[in-house]
């Protein structure tokens, strides 16, 4: 047999959200944090027109999209770096710092790709337990050592949906050494309604060691095309651009992302509908007796402990797929009203059968 890296023998594969089908044929996929809406007509039209050029390689620098992002957020062109989804940009970040002995600090549980990316990059993961459902920034600051190269703060956090507030995040950033990169992973920023949850772009401008990570997969509804981006000071962005695979952001993805930025007013209406459903679902769960932490993302979190897999199985019987984390809890994405109602019914029936949470 060929010889491979030893880390691959112990590294679990990333597990995407799965779909399930009830006996009556119903199927509601709430296991992946996707937009429940079809692409906007203007975006579909742009993709169709762009398909006429797929015999050509895409613009390797994604110039038009980079310009559109820079203009949208009023940042220099040189501060933008792209990748095939924010998880790939995260991988590029890990590759910029990963080498034997380098440490990367992040909360746990948080985005489950972090440990996989750290292992692949040859970096050492330093997982700091959540305080309840929230980041423990004090403990994360204390976990930084001379070997620390990078810190991830997922805000809002995946899978709990909880958010770090402005004062505590600013105080944390003040404690981080200037040679440690802090990545604010804001994949769900468009769903934030709490005014005390800071926009990372207001923090990075006078902090050269802060980078902001975002995506077109969630609110913009382009999960199937894979477009993510980073905004950071030029030395950081330039280093991240060095690690991108040539032509990683394909032509149709670039075209669709530009069209989506032009259609932000329409997209904002859709995001607001998700936010309203999020509020409705959380309030209904609380009324059923569940303990559901406040969420600023497009999902809710139920801490179920040892009942997690039983809960997921009960939801599957109703045709509802949720994202279980064995022994911890379940993350449930916000879908359309019909899907959300099906989930609420499944949650109520499970609670009745198990006589309380």
Taking the model in full, what pTM does it have? 0.95
The sign one gets for the Cα dihedral 314, 319, 325, 330 is negative
Residue 139: phi and psi, rounded to 5, are -65, -35
The alpha carbon torsion through 58, 59, 61, 65 (nearest 10 deg) reads -90
pLDDT attached to residue 188? 98
Q: Do domains 17-39+265-356 and 41-262 have the same CATH topology?
A: no
- In whole angstroms, give the CA distance from residue 193 to residue 212: 18
Residue ranges with strand state E in the chain: 28-29, 80-83, 103-108, 124-129, 148-154, 181-185, 210-215, 228-231, 299-303, 320-321, 323-325, 329-333
**The two structure tokens encoding residue 8:** 């691959």
Residues of the chain with pLDDT under 70: 356-357
Q: Which CATH fold would you assign to the domain 17-39+265-356?
A: 3.90.1150
Q: Whose structure tokens read 């913009």?
A: 220
What pLDDT sits at residue 252?
97
What are the respective helix, strand and coil percentages of the chain, to the nearest 5? 45, 15, 40
Correct CATH for 41-262 of 3.40.50.300, 3.40.640.10, 3.40.50.720, 3.10.130.10: 3.40.640.10
Identify the residue whose tokens are 């995946």. 158
**32: exposed, middle or buried (C-beta count within 10 Å: 0-12, 13-18, 19+)?**
middle
Domain residue spans of the chain: 17-39+265-356, 41-262
Residue-level pLDDT at 357: 47
Cβ proximity of 156 and 299 under 8 Å = no
Give the integer Cα–Cα distance in Å for 125 and 177: 18
Which residue in 55, 81, 59 sits closest to 69, CA to CA?
81
């Amino acid at each position: 047999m060929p010889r491979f890296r030893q880390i691959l023998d112990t590294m679990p594969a990333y597990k995407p959200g799965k779909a399930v089908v009830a006996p009556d044929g119903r199927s509601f996929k709430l296991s992946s944090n996707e937009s429940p809406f079809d692409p906007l007509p203007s975006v579909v039209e742009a993709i169709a027109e762009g398909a006429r050029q797929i015999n050509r390689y895409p613009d390797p620098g994604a110039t038009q999209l980079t310009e559109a992002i820079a203009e949208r957020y009023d940042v220099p062109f040189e501060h933008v770096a792209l990748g095939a989804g924010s998880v790939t940009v995260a991988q590029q970040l890990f590759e910029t710092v990963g080498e034997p002995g380098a440490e990367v600090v992040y909360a746990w549980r948080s985005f489950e790709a972090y440990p996989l990316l750290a292992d692949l990059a040859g970096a050492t993961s330093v997982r700091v337990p959540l305080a309840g459902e929230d980041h423990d920034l004090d403990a994360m600051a204390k976990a930084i050592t001379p070997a620390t190269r990078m810190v991830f703060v997922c805000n809002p956090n995946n899978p709990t949906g909880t958010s770090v507030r402005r004062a505590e995040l600013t105080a944390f950033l003040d404690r981080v050494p200037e040679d440690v990169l802090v990545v604010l992973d804001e994949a769900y920023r468009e769903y934030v309604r709490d005014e005390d949850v800071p926009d990372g772009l207001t923090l990075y401008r006078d902090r050269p060691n802060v980078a902001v990570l975002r995506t077109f997969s969630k609110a913009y509804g382009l999960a199937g095309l894979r477009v993510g981006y980073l905004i950071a000071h030029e030395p950081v962005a330039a280093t991240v651009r060095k690690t991108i695979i040539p032509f990683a952001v394909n032509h149709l993805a670039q075209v669709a992302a530009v069209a989506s930025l032009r259609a932000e007013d329409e997209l904002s209406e859709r995001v607001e509908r998700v936010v309203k459903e999020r509020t409705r679902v959380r309030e209904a769960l609380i009324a059923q007796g569940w303990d559901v932490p406040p969420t600023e993302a497009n999902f809710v979190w139920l801490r179920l402990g040892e009942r997690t897999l039983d809960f997921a199985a009960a939801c599957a019987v109703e045709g509802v797929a949720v994202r279980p984390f064995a022994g911890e809890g379940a993350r449930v994405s916000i879908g359309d009203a019909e899907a959300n109602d099906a989930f609420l019914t499944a949650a109520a029936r499970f609670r009745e059968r198990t006589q309380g949470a």
